[in-house]
Structure 1
Amino acid sequence: MTARVTLYGRDGCHLCDEARAVVAAVCAELGEEFDEVDVDTDAALQDRFGEEVPVTFVDGRQHDFWRVDPARLRAALATDRG
């Protein structure tokens, strides 16, 4: 199964830790997968996201940054892939 959610973040980021916990819980609840990408491993990602991490994408589209609202993420995952 391809992950529908991608979490972009960095080590040592407390907001990233909080976002990871929400994403992991919601994905586990709904039987979804998620990928995590460290923006500090890629200069282009550092330039793109800067200090606006964590950033979540659902089905390839930006969903949230800084905070992940579990209800909003559930709603996004309730829709068909697209």
Structure 2
Amino acid sequence: MRLTLFQRDHCHLCDLAYEVLVAAGVPDFDPVWIDGDAALEALYGMRIPVLRREDTAAELDWPFAADAVRQFLATS
């Protein structure tokens, strides 16, 4: 399953999200920085960090905990 974490530069919440993903045992994800991309900033600007499942297009908005991430990944 391919995952994307939408984030901003110098974002302490994004740093926390990374720690949660590690605690949840997420092996890999694609980081996408929205800074400077008008379309992504319009879509995610107030919601970041956002974890997205590329297979289902489902998104998990911050705040999330390790248990919520594991549940998010287990749903089909």
For the superposition of Structure 1 and Structure 2, which TM-score range results when normalised by the shorter chain? 0.7 to 0.9
**For 2:35, what is the secondary structure of its paired residue?**
helix
Stretches of structure 1 lacking an aligned partner (at least 5 in a row): none
What's the counterpart of residue 68 of structure 2?
A: 72
Percent sequence identity is 40
The Cα shift of 1:41 comes to 3.9
- Distance in structure 2 (CA, Å) of the matches to 1:49 and 1:13: 13
- Distance in structure 2 (CA, Å) of the matches to 1:40 and 1:24: 24
What's the counterpart of residue 10 of structure 2?
A: 12
- Aligned length, in residue pairs: 73
**For 1:56, what is the secondary structure of its paired residue?**
strand
Greater per-residue helix proportion: 1
Stretches of structure 2 lacking an aligned partner (at least 5 in a row): none
Runs of 4+ off more than 3 Å:
none
The Cα shift of 1:70 comes to 0.9
